[in-house]
């Protein structure tokens, strides 16, 4: 380990990045010596693994994971998390395998590193265009162990601190991703200090000119405001002392990105933003918070409608505080936050504030609100498509909450846009399943009506009532959506059989036939071929959506002579249950095995398979009867076309370099096209042949790190090339 020890000895002070000595000094304050030594050993192992690798800034690569671990050490996380932070890139960027990490550092560390490695393979464009399936994987990795996202956030924060080594285009892309995904995630987990720094760094990288102008304007106004606030803070301290309240009074300043967002949202200049500066008062306990509020209101009058009690009704991430806005001298508005020291720690550190570390015991952190949210992710992902999952999570990540009351006075917090049915399921699943009407402030209201703050909602139930499938069109909470789907899956067998018969009759009508016209022998043969016990089981499967009525109908109707000739030597099936059908793969979205897919059945053209996220299946929501839910065969045994859009810097030989990288993965290139070009960048479109998503992922992993590659994505819904 001579190389590693020498390299780590040089780290402190390189480009302002914290080094191993800084990290060990920080963790020594709260970890036992044997765990500190374990962290040092991990750093040496990481330095050896990353030997010869450098960052864009020019410093040795090991400086980055050590700095990420130092960020987490400030949150006082456990040793496993710190070791995983130091090693978070070794699986992806070095020959070290997960099994070796298990042997050297334990299963928990290896699992965290593996989770972060999977997150690193996810690329986001922006909040609107984020790939739903990738987002699902990232958030479900958090469910398994929250430490995965803690390490990823620390990794992103240090990358943002040293982003100047990137090109301008790459810098803007990373900044947009940070503002759209990682800063809101940090906020959702209550990591406010990290969230604020991510936002300010992202703002500076994405809009450098706007950042400079706003920073300059605030600097000019800061001098007078600080003196002004200093006098008010002293008045507050004197008033609290006279009232016998022990408190710390400090001045606070709104962060640049928060000011910028407020200016753009309200379309007002900086001079009209009233809460740029304010006061924070930290006291001993919650009772004292309310006493302090009374004292504050005696010093200056409160502004009507600007009081918020986040102690009685905490935010979804556990944040608690009293917020009030006062009429200061010359009617200048002053925002005041009042909280306890424990609340302040949670406000700054979120889930990490609840870290419980005990020597010799398994480590973990407990944050009730974060755990509740993450457990709801499991309910979301069990049913519905990736897009629905993403939409449900967005409602929580970018929340506008409504607070409503039950008749007994209990407060329920629901996402903006929630309906009476969402409220019913929030009370209890049984209440939702049996609700027939709702009363808002004692007045009957339609079930699809959206909730508003402060309403008192009462649900009217009936023992014989059942969920209405139409509710899925307007409910927004994951719990309501999952419960309704669960009920529909559990329909009584007789109802499923009856529904299946109706669906089959509708499908047979296209062949000018019906179930009574089908020969018993033909029906028995079809039932046997599909592996069913009897006709009722076949009808049940169709009614429950496990078998597609149009495909079953096609089996029941004898094929014409010319169709039999075409079917004599079929190619290996890639779509399960598509026997006897012509199957086409849409060239607008290029589905490959592993993609979530839908199929459109049309007369004379057979079945056309699309990816679920393809823009050309938008009318699926409006006309679901035209689409089939299909699955891939376990062994497709053929190759599939797929298009990759690669945005590259205009450099001599870049096309040849990318093509060579693709060929190096033993992948054939069918076609390449230059679609867009300007002075600095070009867009190359490659059509390649792959077996499945795994092979496609390998290709993308090879292309993405290339120095001239700015953006990489799969084609989705564009013109079809003849």
Return the active site residues. Answer: 92-93
Question: Which tokens in the block code for residue 640?
Answer: 């599939």
Residues 48 and 95: their CA atoms lie apart, in Å, by 11
Phi-psi region of 690 (alpha: psi -120 to 50; beta: other; left: phi over 0): beta
Mapped onto helix, strand or coil, the DSSP state of residue 202 is: helix
* Side-chain half-sphere exposure of 324, counting CA atoms within 13 A: 23
Q: What are phi and psi of 279, to 5 degrees?
A: -125, 150
Question: Which tokens in the block code for residue 501?
Answer: 């018969």
- Other beta carbons within 10 angstroms of residue 415's beta carbon come to 20
Strands 333-340 and 277-283: parallel
- Residue whose C-alpha is closest to residue 224's, from 80, 356, 332: 332
What kind and span of H or E run contains 27? helix 20-27
Residues 243 and 290: their CA atoms lie apart, in Å, by 13
Class of residue 471 by CB neighbours under 10 A (exposed 0-12, middle 13-18, buried 19+): buried
Sign of CA dihedral 608, 612, 613, 617: positive
Output the CA–CA distances (angstroms, integers) from residue 638 to 385, 504, 667, 689, in the order listed.
Answer: 26, 32, 14, 10
Residues 574 and 620: their CA atoms lie apart, in Å, by 22
Residues 221 and 208: their CA atoms lie apart, in Å, by 20
Residues 547 and 530: their CA atoms lie apart, in Å, by 10
Residues 256 and 198: their CA atoms lie apart, in Å, by 11
Mapped onto helix, strand or coil, the DSSP state of residue 346 is: helix
**Which positions ≥6 away from 2 have C-beta within 8 Å?**
none
- Residue whose C-alpha is closest to residue 309's, from 280, 329, 339: 339
Q: Which residue's entry shows tokens 């780590």?
A: 8
């Amino acid at each position: 380990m001579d190389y590693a020890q020498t390299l780590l000895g040089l780290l402190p002070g390189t480009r302002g990045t914290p080094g191993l000595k800084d990290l060990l000094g920080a963790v020594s304050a709260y970890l036992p010596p044997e765990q500190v030594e374990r962290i040092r050993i991990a750093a040496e192992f990481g330095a050896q693994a990353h030997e010869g690798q450098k960052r864009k800034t020019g410093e040795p690569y090991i400086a980055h994971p050590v700095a990420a671990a130092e960020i987490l050490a400030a949150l006082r996380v456990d040793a496993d998390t710190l070791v995983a932070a130091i090693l978070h890139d070794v699986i992806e960027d070095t020959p070290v395998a997960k099994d070796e990490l298990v042997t050297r550092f334990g299963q928990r560390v290896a699992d965290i590193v593996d989770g972060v490695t999977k997150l690193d393979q996810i690329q986001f464009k922006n909040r609107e265009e984020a790939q739903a399936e990738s987002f699902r994987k990232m958030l479900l990795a958090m469910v398994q162990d929250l430490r995965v996202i803690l390490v990823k956030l620390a990794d992103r924060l240090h990358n943002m601190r040293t982003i100047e080594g990137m090109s301008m285009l790459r810098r803007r892309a990373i900044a947009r991703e940070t503002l759209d995904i990682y800063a809101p995630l940090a906020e959702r987990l209550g990591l406010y200090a990290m969230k604020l720094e991510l936002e300010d760094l992202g703002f500076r990288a994405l809009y450098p000119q706007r950042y400079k102008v706003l920073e300059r304007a605030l600097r000019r106004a800061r001098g007078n405001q600080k003196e002004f606030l200093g006098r008010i803070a002293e008045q507050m301290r004197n008033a609290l002392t006279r009232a016998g309240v022990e408190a710390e009074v400090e001045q606070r300043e709104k962060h640049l990105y928060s000011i910028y967002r407020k200016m753009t949202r309200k379309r007002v200049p900086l001079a009209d933003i009233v809460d740029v500066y304010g006061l924070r008062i930290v006291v001993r306990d919650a009772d004292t918070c309310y006493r302090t509020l009374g004292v504050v209101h005696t010093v200056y009058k409160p502004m009507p409608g600007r009081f918020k009690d986040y102690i009685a009704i905490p935010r979804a991430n556990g944040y608690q505080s009293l917020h009030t806005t006062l009429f200061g001298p010359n009617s200048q508005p002053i925002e005041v936050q009042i909280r306890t020291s424990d609340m302040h720690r949670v406000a700054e550190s979120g889930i990490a504030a609840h870290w419980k570390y005990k020597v010799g015991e398994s480590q973990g952190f407990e944050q009730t609100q974060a755990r509740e949210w993450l457990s709801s992710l499991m309910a979301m992902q069990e049913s519905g498509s990736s897009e629905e999952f993403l939409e449900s999570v967005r409602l929580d990540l970018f929340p506008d909450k409504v607070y409503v009351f039950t008749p007994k006075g209990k407060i329920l917090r629901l996402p903006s846009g929630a309906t009476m049915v969402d409220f019913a399921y929030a009370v209890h699943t049984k209440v939702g399943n049996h609700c027939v009407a709702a009363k808002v402030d004692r007045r009957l209201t339609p079930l699809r009506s959206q909730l508003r703050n402060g309403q008192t909602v009462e649900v009217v139930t009936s023992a014989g009532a059942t969920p209405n499938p139409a509710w899925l069109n307007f409910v927004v909470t994951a719990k309501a959506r999952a419960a309704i789907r669960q009920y529909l899956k559990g329909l009584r067998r007789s109802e499923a059989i009856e529904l299946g018969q109706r669906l089959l009759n509708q499908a047979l009508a296209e062949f000018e036939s019906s179930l009574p016209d089908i020969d018993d022998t033909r029906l028995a043969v079809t039932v046997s071929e599909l592996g069913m016990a009897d006709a009722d089981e076949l009808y049940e499967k169709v009614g429950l959506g496990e078998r597609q009525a149009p495909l079953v109908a096609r089996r029941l109707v004898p094929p014409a002579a010319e169709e039999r000739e075409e079917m004599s030597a079929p190619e290996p099936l890639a779509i399960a249950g598509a026997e006897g059908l012509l199957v086409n793969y849409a060239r607008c979205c290029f589905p490959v095995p592993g993609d979530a897919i839908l199929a459109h059945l049309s007369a004379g053209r057979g079945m056309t398979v699309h990816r679920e996220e393809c823009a050309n299946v938008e009318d699926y929501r409006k006309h679901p009867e035209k689409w089939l839910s299909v699955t891939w065969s376990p062994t497709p045994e053929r190759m599939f076309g797929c298009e990759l859009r690669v945005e590259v810097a205009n450099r001599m030989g870049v096309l040849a370099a990318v093509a060579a990288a693709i060929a190096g993965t033993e992948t054939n290139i069918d076609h390449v096209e230059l679609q867009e070009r300007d002075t600095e960048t070009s867009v190359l479109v490659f059509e390649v042949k792959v077996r499945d998503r795994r092979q496609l992922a390998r290709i993308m992993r090879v292309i993405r790190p290339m120095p001239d590659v700015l953006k990489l994505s799969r084609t989705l819904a564009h013109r079809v090339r003849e």
